[in-house]
């Protein structure tokens, strides 16, 4: 049996805790930011990348269509916004809708002037976080180019978004390029070409289309990562091209197609995964 004597000289537990504990004040937003920054800077890049990949997940799939901007028909005339990135969202019951990819606009708040403080050893630069997020974005997406927008491929590979120095030619991991080598044909009867000049117009259009195809394939040489995979799809369907009345390819057509294939073989020999 425990006898309760005079406990006046004994300190109460709550009083002892109060005296030995530091004074607590409401946690400020600055304290939370500082703690978060310290945790962030101690994480290795591999774990930060996992966090970025989780943040970049969404309801859409990983395919991104690179399409010409609606108000810009010449990618060289507006180097800051030469193209738009489209993603598809499921739309019940069995279809989908296309919309602009919001990923890059969501990174802009990290680059606003009020975020441009001088980073310390415990505070990562917001621009560094944006750059690492952009790297993960390029790593985890499949960027697709239709033949219509084939001339956007060089502009995309060299695109320096927000001047962060994160270029798709370095960080993009999967590309899909569609080529219609015979989308425009220069085959017209000699009499018709001489009579109304349509042959010359068709010839110039053919040269322009061929140049677009060759420039796109040559731009793949800018890719600097051996882990980047490129799928090149040649569309030879006559119904999709402008030569349905011709059963056989001309010698010029065959030579042009072989030129494109030889360029791809050279890239493959240099180490490109194509």
- Does some domain include residue 67? yes
DSSP conformation class of 187: -
Q: Is the pLDDT of residue 156 over 70?
A: yes
pLDDT of 122 = 52
- Does some domain include residue 199? no
- Does some domain include residue 132? yes
Sequence-separated contacts (24+) of 205-209 with Cβ below 8 Å: 208/184, 209/183, 209/184
Using the CB atoms, write b or e for 37-59: b if 16+ within 10 Å: beeeeeeeeeebbeebeeebeee
- Does some domain include residue 97? yes
Per residue in 163-201, pLDDT (tens digit) is 999 999 999 999 999 998 887 664 444 444 455 566 777
Higher pLDDT, 250 or 63: 63
- Does some domain include residue 191? no
- Does some domain include residue 9? no
Higher pLDDT, 187 or 103: 103
Per residue in 17-32, pLDDT (tens digit) is 445 445 445 556 666 6
The number of folded domains in the chain is 1
Higher pLDDT, 167 or 130: 167
- Does some domain include residue 89? yes
pLDDT of 190 = 43
Query: Is the CB of residue 234 less than 8 Å from the CB of residue 263?
Result: no
Per residue in 54-65, pLDDT (tens digit) is 888 877 789 999
Q: pLDDT band for 241, please (50, 70, 90 cuts).
A: very low
Widest distance between CA atoms in the chain: 125
- What average pLDDT score do residues 27-45 get? 70
- What average pLDDT score do residues 90-98 get? 79
Beta-carbon-side half-sphere exposure of residue 44 (alpha carbons within 13 Å): 2
Using the CB atoms, write b or e for 147-159: b if 16+ within 10 Å: bebbbbbbbbbeb
Q: pLDDT band for 85, please (50, 70, 90 cuts).
A: very high
68 lies in which domain range? 54-172
Pairing relationship of beta strands 95-100 and 174-179 according to DSSP bridges? unpaired
Torsion sign (Cα): 124, 125, 128, 134: positive
- Does some domain include residue 42? no
Min mean pLDDT across 102-106, 146-150, 168-172 is at 102-106
Question: pTM for the full model?
Answer: 0.75
Query: Is the CB of residue 143 less than 8 Å from the CB of residue 175?
Result: yes
């Amino acid at each position: 049996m425990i006898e309760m004597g005079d406990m006046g000289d004994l300190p109460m537990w709550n009083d002892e805790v109060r005296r030995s504990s530091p004074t607590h004040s409401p946690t400020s937003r600055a304290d939370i930011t500082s703690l978060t920054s310290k945790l962030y800077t101690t994480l290795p890049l591999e774990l930060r990348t996992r966090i970025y990949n989780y943040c970049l997940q969404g309801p859409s799939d990983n395919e991104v269509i690179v399409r010409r901007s609606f108000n810009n028909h010449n990618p060289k005339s507006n180097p800051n916004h030469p193209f738009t990135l489209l993603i598809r969202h499921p739309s019940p019951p069995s279809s989908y809708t296309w919309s602009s990819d919001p990923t890059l606009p969501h990174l802009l708040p990290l680059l606003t002037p009020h975020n441009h403080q001088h980073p310390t050893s415990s505070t990562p630069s917001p621009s560094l976080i944006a750059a690492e997020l952009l790297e993960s974005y390029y790593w985890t997406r499949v960027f697709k180019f239709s033949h219509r927008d084939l001339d956007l491929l060089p502009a995309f590979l060299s695109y320096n978004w927000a001047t962060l120095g994160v270029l798709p030619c370095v960080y993009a991991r999967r590309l899909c390029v569609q080529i219609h080598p015979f989308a425009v044909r220069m085959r017209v009867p000699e009499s018709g070409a001489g009579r109304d000049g349509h042959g010359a117009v068709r010839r110039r259009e053919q040269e322009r289309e061929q140049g677009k195809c060759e420039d796109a394939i040559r731009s793949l040489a800018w890719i600097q990562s051996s882990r980047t995979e490129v799928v090149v799809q040649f569309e030879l369907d006559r119904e999709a091209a402008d030569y349905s009345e011709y059963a056989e390819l001309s010698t010029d057509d065959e030579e042009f197609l072989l030129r494109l294939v030889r360029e791809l073989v050279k890239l493959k020999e240099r180490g490109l995964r194509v």
